[in-house]
Amino acid sequence: MIATADIYWACAIIFIFFLIKKFFEGPPGARQPPIATTRRAPPAPIVPRAFTMDEIKTMNGKGEEKRLAIVIKGKVYDVSRASSMYGPSGGYNLFTGHDATRALALSSLDSKDLDRGIEDLTKDQESTLHDWIGVYEGKYDVIGWVDDAPAGSSTTSTTSTTTTSTTSTST
């Protein structure tokens, strides 16, 4: 036989359940829309393109351009997804809008190592740079390349042209 106390406990549990449910639902009519309507559209595919350093300098999160980008060996990386680190108040913000190749190779947070060539790196520094490139390749999208990167930091090959002059003598 069921005791009266058991019925009271069952009613109390059901009552508490409905109170909790009502509390977490919020006010009437404030239900969440279905998940399908709250999903964001997938981002537009990135079509890599050439950038100038003047364009890159605007990608520092401080102006109208909201994208955060850095350059490593002529490649432009979009680091916007890590805005807490690369944004205006982030610890690595000094890299955004710059060619950070030399600074990464030297493991430097000094602005004097930005936008400079890498032709004088040691083997150890080149190895460090290679490791950093692996990190960036794995974490961030490459959105393009820089046509006018500092000498020695570009991934594009450079060609030299030679000029020849001909002399003619008249008689």
pTM of this prediction? 0.63
What's the Cα-to-Cα distance from 17 to each of 10, 12, 20, 23, rounded to whole Å?
11, 9, 5, 10
What are the pLDDT tens digits along the chain (171 aa)? 677 878 888 888 888 877 777 666 655 555 555 555 455 566 567 789 999 999 999 999 887 878 899 999 999 999 999 999 999 999 999 999 999 999 999 999 999 999 999 999 999 999 999 999 999 999 999 999 998 755 555 544 333 333 333 344 444
pLDDT of residue 25: 65
Please provide the distance, in angstroms rounded to a whole number, between the alpha carbons at the two ends of the chain: 135
